[in-house]
Amino acid sequence: MRTLKVIVVSGGVISGLGKGITTSSLGRLLKARGIAVTILKVDPYLNVDAGTMNPYQHGEVFVLDDGTEADLDLGNYERFLDQSLVGTHNLTTGKVYRTVIEKERRGDYLGNTVQIIPHITGEIKRGIREVFQTSGADVVLVEVGGTVGDIESMPFLEALRELSYELGEGHMAFVHTTLVPVVGPVGEAKTKPTQHSVRELRAIGIRPTMIIARGPAPLAPEIKAKISLFCDVTPEAVISVPDQSTIYEVPLVLEAQGVGQQLTKLLGLPDREPDYTAWKEFLATYRRDSSEIRVAVVGKYTDLRDAYLSHIEAFHHVQGRLGVTIHLDWYDAEDLPRDPAALARVSRADAILVPGGFGARGVEGKVLAISAARETGIPFLGVCYGFQMAAVEFARNVLALPQANTTEVEPATPDPVVCLLEDQKTLATLGGTMRLGALKVSLTEDSRIAQIYGRTEVSERHRHRYEVNPAYLNRFREHGLRATGRSPDGRVEVFELADHPFFFGVQYHPEFLSRPEAPHPLYLELVKAALARKGVPADVAPAPARA
């Protein structure tokens, strides 16, 4: 019988230490040894899921195959593990309380007083066991969102403490990620914040088995020794992870310090020789730096890069396949209508990406950027709202319908080229009309999009409410904009423009499916088109053998 093995990753001192990358990398270490692994994120906030959260506060909402709107760390897990996850892998306080309250209302607790311990903690443990059962993994990594010491994360840490007691020796490892700041004129590394946060953890009854020290530079041996002494972990289990030029380096940094061996030993797992062949090929190509291109990204959350994390990573994956350095230049869509110099810079980009979004702010700037791409032949990819705005731009400037718009922005537009479809209008009052998750898209045979994918049936993830209005499709087609991808029920999923080097809009979100070892074909071809336009031959590295 399989027995549950768990690696908990907590964070101390401050947030934003790269706990998600650490957790993902630990997963990769085990996977490289042929161990079946999965990851669960627990998020102490009260939102049931990330769907209602502002990208400015929390970064992008990452959509899973099953339509769950999840924390962006789930995206890191999928990319590092090269595995798709489902909604049970993101447990929030909101979800846990909702379940417990529903059970209470149904009378499941048989008149007992319902309490944080044991009912909330019990539900958290049930969630972890459920992921173990349904995923078939031998090891479940649990990343605890927030920082140890937060009131919010207490029930989660308590549940994990209980679980480690229940599972007994050799079934659980606690990895604590902390900051070792470097201060003062001589650049002294300070261990006190780490000591304090470990003390906090021990007060809850958890003794870390490994400490991952983040900071600007590698830890000196005496600093490792000091942390070991004060925090009661072996010196080998104090791991130094200084900032890296790419996050994809982190698994190798951990491996070099024996983390994989230590964890397998702790959990009684087979320690096979790890295989990083494909991963190392990716990194080698990533650094080749044979030429460079600049991509203009025109969005409305450009002040917070995390709001576009999956797009950024998708370009990194392309860099790891083509060996060209890809610079992303960020443009706030709201500035473009009033800043001709910025618009002129967009018009000189090697490629333009208009990502998704919601609401009226910034849409006119997106339309201007799309015009520039369409008219000058700059390779263009429009994703979701970017795709819808490409339809608006085309209707206004090619079909000469100056008031064309999406009804999301202008409900009374005489030319609603993007709108709610009839069947959605009745549903709208009930809420929950968002089209979410992995859905089939059929591509027109002999279209360019089908060539790019090398297939005519694909599955892509969605997150949108509005649709391209089919009433305009004939006129679009007569002028060169063809709908070459459709959902099984006929919704428009893809636009491609004839007589343009590369002009594609997609209703779905290709960025969510790009992986280091398998860059998404749309991003790959966008960059190749940009290189071709510059006269640089794209030297595509062969696809690495997939683990």
Tell me the window of 48-56, 258-266, 383-391, 527-535 that interacts with ligand GLN (CB under 6 A).
Answer: 383-391
Count of residues engaged in binding ligand GLN, rule: CB under 6 A: 11
Q: How far is the CB of 319 from ligand GLN (least distance, A)?
A: 25
Nearer to ligand GLN by Cβ, of 62 and 385: the residue is 385
Q: Are 209 and 233 in contact (CB under 8 A)?
A: yes
Q: What is the DSSP string of 116-137?
A: IIIIIHHHHHHHHHHHHHHH--
Q: Is residue 384 part of the contact set for ligand GLN (CB under 6 A)? A: yes
Catalytic residue among 69, 119, 231, 384: 384
Binding residues among 465-484 for ligand GLN as defined by CB under 6 A = 465-466
Greatest CA span in the chain, whole angstroms? 75
Rounded least distance, CB 98 to ligand GLN, Å = 25
* 27 in Cβ contact with 33 (< 8 Å): no
- Judged by CB, which is closer to ligand GLN: 35, or 354? 354
Computed on alpha carbons and rounded to an integer, the radius of gyration of the chain in Å comes to: 25
| Nearest CB to ligand GLN, comparing residues 312 and 547 | 312
Exposed/middle/buried for 474, CB within 10 Å: 0-12, 13-18, 19+? exposed
d(CA 130, CA 2): 13
Contact window for ligand GLN (CB under 6 A) among 33-41, 50-58, 188-196, 463-471: 463-471
* Beta carbon nearer to ligand GLN, 161 or 311: 311
Quote the CA–CA distance of 476 and 388 in Å, as a whole number.
13
Q: Please report, as residue ranges, which positions from 152 to 171 form the binding site for ligand GLN (by CB under 6 A).
A: none
Q: How far is the CB of 148 from ligand GLN (least distance, A)?
A: 34
Active site residue 384: yes
Closest CB 465 distance from ligand GLN, rounded Å: 4
Q: Is 231 a catalytic residue?
A: no
Residues 82, 38: contact at Cβ < 8 Å?
no
Taking the complex as a whole, the smallest distance from the CB of residue 388 to ligand GLN amounts, in Å, to 6
Could you say whether residue 393 binds ligand GLN (CB under 6 A)? no
| Closer residue to ligand GLN, CB minimum distance, 220 or 360 | 360
Q: Shortest Cβ distance from residue 410 to ligand GLN (Å)?
A: 13
Nearer CB in complex with ligand GLN: 99/424: 424
Please report where in the chains the tokens 């790019």 appear, as a residue: 452
* Structure-token pair, residue 324: 């060209």
Among 5, 464, 482, 520, binds ligand GLN (CB under 6 A): 464
Q: Is-contact 92 49, C-beta < 8 A? A: yes
Q: How far is the CB of 420 from ligand GLN (least distance, A)?
A: 9
How far apart (Å, rounded) are the C-alpha atoms in residues 175 and 27?
12
Q: Which of 158, 200, 408, 496 binds ligand GLN (CB under 6 A)?
A: 408
The rounded distance, in Å, linking the Cα atoms of 405 and 412 is: 9
Nearer to ligand GLN, 308 or 385 (CB): 385
Q: Which two tokens stand for residue 155?
A: 């029930």
Annotated catalytic residue, options 313, 511, 517, 525: 511
- Using the minimum distance from each CB to ligand GLN, give the nearer residue, 223 or 381: 381
Site for ligand GLN in 228-287 (CB under 6 A): none
Angle, CA of 331, 337 and 338, to the nearest 5°: 95
Q: Which CB, 63 or 148, lies closer to ligand GLN?
A: 63
Interface region with ligand GLN, contact rule CB under 6 A, candidates 40-48, 324-332, 338-346, 457-465: 457-465
Q: Rounded to the nearest whole angstrom, what is the least distance from the CB of residue 384 to ligand GLN in the complex?
A: 3
Active-site residue, 334 included: no
Exactly one of 385, 476, 504, 512 binds ligand GLN (CB under 6 A); that residue is 385
> In 3D, which of 24, 349, 29, 323 has the Cα closest to residue 177?
24
The alpha carbon of 447 is separated from its chain's Cα centroid by a whole number of angstroms, namely 29
- Determine the residue type at 251: P
Nearer to ligand GLN, 249 or 408 (CB): 408
Length of the chain as a residue count = 547
Contact partners, residue 202, CB within 8 Å, separation at least 6: none
Stretch that binds ligand GLN, among 42-50, 217-225, 394-402, 458-466 (CB under 6 A): 458-466
Report the residue number, 181 or 505, with the smaller CB distance to ligand GLN: 505
Least distance (Å) from ligand GLN to the CB of residue 63? 9
Output the DSSP codes for 401-444: -TT-EETTT-TT-S-EEEE--HHHHHHHTTS---EEEEEEEEEP
Give dist(CA 214, CA 236) in Å, integer. Answer: 16
d(CA 393, CA 382): 12
CB of 520 to ligand GLN, least distance (A): 17
H or E stretch at 335: none
Dihedrals φ, ψ of 494, to 5°?
A: -140, 140
Nearest-angstrom CA–CA distance, 160 and 121 = 8
Site for ligand GLN in 33-52 (CB under 6 A): none
Q: Which residue is nearest to ligand GLN (CB)?
A: 356
Task: Quote the least distance from Cβ 155 to ligand GLN, whole Å.
Answer: 33
Please name the residue that has the structure tokens 């343009």.
500
Contact with ligand GLN (CB under 6 A) among 5, 119, 321, 463: 463
- Under the binding rule (CB under 6 A), the answer on residue 119 touching ligand GLN is no
Within 352-381, which residues bind ligand GLN (CB under 6 A)? 356-358
DSSP codes joined into one string, 145-163: -S-TT-TTTHHHHHHHHHH
**Residue 297, Cβ neighbours under 10 Å: how many?**
24
| CA dihedral sign of residues 407, 59, 366, 78 | negative
Identified catalytic residue from 89, 509, 517, 525 = 509
Active-site annotation, residues: 384, 509, 511
Binding-site ranges for ligand GLN (CB under 6 A): 356-358, 384-385, 388, 408, 463-466
